[in-house]
Structure 1
Amino acid sequence: MNLMKSLLFLALCGVLLLGCGKENQVDTSEAPQIDYELIASEKTLPANFDEIAYEREESPAFQYLIKAAYNPIDFEQLWNLFDFEKKIPKVDFESKNVMIVGLHESSCPTHIEEINNEQETLTINVATKENTCDELAAPRAFVIELDKGISESLQEVMIVESEIKTIVPIQ
């Protein structure tokens, strides 16, 4: 019987502890999700990424590079800067713009979970599917196609990675 009481006590403690730390979690449930298309994702970054990327001042020192293209010429230049291997995709720049997000990922591939837009701030939530990842610094670039109405006036993007928010200027 004592074993049963101990197990019940441990289960109750576990349930109570699940609620701890909720104030630090990112809540994007209020922000409207936007339509976007991931038109490319490769393990590549510009050769001078460490020199031109935005780096968080606080720990962890995540680095991000966000570039926007509003026309085909800019898009081709950015495509070449990031040194993508695939052929450049076609984009209808009459109604769309392109944003390229560069970052370092661990041994577990990073993916975009969702993109939200609230009060003229674009929030990009990135995550991995696994929890047991080595802390490598592998390159990753995402090419995202967005509606012009959402992307034209943006000056910065909030990247949410491992529940840590980082405001990154668009270059």
Structure 2
Amino acid sequence: MIAVGIDPSLTCTGVAVIDVEGGAITRRVMSPNIGNTLLARRNRIRQAVAGVLATIPARIDVTVIEVPTSRQQFGAQNERTALYWFLVDQLLARGPVVEVAPSSRAKLATGSGRATKGQVVSLMRAAFPHAHIPDDNAADALALAWAGARWGGAEVPAYLPSQEEAHARLDWPSTTH
């Protein structure tokens, strides 16, 4: 069972892979701003997608990805949305993809949809003490991979009842691997 979690971002995408044979691995894919021209923005998105795809296996049982919010307080909404859809397009070729809203991601991680980034990091470090979790991007991705691994029947840390509630509300594929 291989579950991937992705917290897409133009600056630093969090990627986590839970492989029942290899444990939990997190990575960050950086995509620095290379300019504001149309071509530069396109190239940044392409670099981010290529970076993410290079960090994950070719065969995946499920990918869980956070959906960009339309209430983002910073610019580049079109680019964030493009990054999301280009990733989803490529990920669907590797296996099923499950979307998660930002508040559901927090509830999956901690049991509270209002959890802070710091609370998510702390809980992920406690749940996965052997995983390197450098920041909230990696922690968010690991929370998503954790949900995918639970869906696939992998032996992973137990959930709290409120986490189970969030997990049950996701639109999981009708069949497992």
TM-score, structure 1 as length reference: 0.22
> Between Structure 1 and Structure 2, whose CA radius of gyration is higher?
1
* Higher helix fraction (1 or 2): 2
TM-score, structure 2 as length reference: 0.22
* Higher strand fraction (1 or 2): 1
